[in-house]
Amino acid sequence: MDLSKLLGQFGLDADSLQDMMQDPKVQTMMNKISGIMTQGGIMPGDVEDLVGEIEPDGEDGGDSTDIFGKMQDLMGDMGDLGNYLYEEIDLDEEVAAYDPQPEDAADRKFMAVLKEWIAQTVREIPAQDVCMLEIGYHEAFDAEDQVHYEIWLAYNTEETAAKNRERFGQEVWNWINWTDNQFRLVPDEPFAAWREAQGYDEANDGDEMIQRIYDLAAAAVIELHKERFTEQLFGRKVPVIIEGYEYYQKTAIRAVKVNGEELFDAAFFSDCGFEPDDEDETADDEA
């Protein structure tokens, strides 16, 4: 992301923008914005931290005072959005209530396709130290700008995970940093047949369709875990995340329902918009 373009949206000309870019406070602010933009979601704590860093130097700061004030307004709006997206909910209650099931014959048929595709795809992974899997959906465009609807599987290995931990100082759940973030795609024909059978119009029913895909994938993975599929392949239970490019609270709810909470750490739940409760924080402080 070219953050100079972001500042340009606030009416600065080229010369003023160049001067502003030399300001250490602007550089700090831009680095923080860059982190927010790339972390996979706006967290309320991020915005509060950023706003605290961008106080103007004084009333006569000229362009600097003006730009800092405008950026504070912008980040305040982002903070409201973050609080809206990540409202407080009870994870255990949501997991207990979430029950992904096929609703009709078309769903059951496509769920069977997904289950077989997941199993076959995971068997084809050319690594034995697989430690994370993810199933997601996106829209892609070919050279002629024709849209294609794709369900993909990504995986990470212990080797890559160790490098990420060394680089970032924690477990990295963002699949962009994984070993292969789009290893295989669901075949077009059964996917298209299911969409047609359910009458989905991607332009108008996209969100509903995606959630239905994820529910069917979740149901398929639950069955595979009951069969101890990953244990037989890799010698241990491997978590399967079901989501797209960004993680949300629903991502964590689905992940815990499918895999069990013990396979995820605090970094994952934080990525999904959950913060540790007061009891956990107290226990950590005492430790």
∠ CA 55-56-62, nearest 5°, is 160
Q: What local confidence, expressed as pLDDT, does residue 204 receive?
A: 75
Query: Do 198 and 160 lie in a common domain?
Result: yes
Based on the structure, what is the number of domains in the chain?
A: 2
Query: Which of residues 85, 101, 116 is at a domain's end?
Result: 85
Q: What is the chain's Cα-based Rg?
A: 22
Q: How confident is the model at residue 186 (pLDDT cuts 50, 70, 90)?
A: very high
* Residue 162 CB partners (closer than 8 Å, separation 6+): none
Query: Do 51 and 123 lie in a common domain?
Result: no
Alpha-carbon gap, residue 193 to 190, rounded angstroms: 5
pLDDT in tens, 225-236: 999 999 999 999
Q: What local confidence, expressed as pLDDT, does residue 119 receive?
A: 97
Query: Do 219 and 275 lie in a common domain?
Result: yes
| C-alpha distances out from residue 195 to 102, 104, 106, 189, 201, Å | 14, 13, 9, 10, 8
Q: What local confidence, expressed as pLDDT, does residue 80 receive?
A: 43
Query: Do 75 and 162 lie in a common domain?
Result: no
Asked if the model's pLDDT at residue 200 lies above 80, the reply is yes
| C-alpha distances out from residue 65 to 56, 72, 75, 202, Å | 5, 11, 15, 45
| C-alpha distances out from residue 254 to 140, 158, 161, 269, Å | 24, 23, 22, 12
Average pLDDT on 35-55 reads: 50
Asked if the model's pLDDT at residue 217 lies above 60, the reply is yes
The sign of the torsion formed by the CA atoms of 201, 205, 207, 208 equals negative
The parent domain of residue 210 ranges over: 91-286
DSSP letter at 263?
Answer: G
Q: How confident is the model at residue 203 (pLDDT cuts 50, 70, 90)?
A: confident
> Alpha helix (H) ranges present in the chain?
3-8, 14-21, 24-38, 44-53, 63-85, 91-97, 105-123, 158-168, 188-198, 202-226, 229-234, 249-259, 266-271, 278-286
pLDDT in tens, 236-249: 999 999 998 788 89
Query: Do 96 and 76 lie in a common domain?
Result: no
Query: Which of residues 68, 85, 102 is at a domain's end?
Result: 85
Query: Which of residues 85, 102, 130 is at a domain's end?
Result: 85
pLDDT in tens, 82-131: 444 445 688 999 999 999 999 999 999 999 999 999 999 999 999 999 99
pLDDT in tens, 125-169: 999 999 999 999 988 887 787 778 899 999 999 999 999 889 888
Q: How confident is the model at residue 21 (pLDDT cuts 50, 70, 90)?
A: low
Q: How confident is the model at residue 182 (pLDDT cuts 50, 70, 90)?
A: confident
DSSP letter at 179?
Answer: S
Query: Do 240 and 264 lie in a common domain?
Result: yes
Alpha-carbon gap, residue 281 to 85, rounded angstroms: 23
Question: Is 182 in contact with 98 (CB distance < 8 Å)?
Answer: no
Q: Which range has the worst mean pLDDT, 18-27, 45-54, 86-95, 168-177?
A: 45-54
Q: What local confidence, expressed as pLDDT, does residue 31 receive?
A: 55
Q: What local confidence, expressed as pLDDT, does residue 139 receive?
A: 83
pTM for the structure as a whole: 0.68
Query: Do 275 and 188 lie in a common domain?
Result: yes
Query: Do 189 and 219 lie in a common domain?
Result: yes
Query: Do 73 and 125 lie in a common domain?
Result: no
Asked if the model's pLDDT at residue 197 lies above 90, the reply is yes
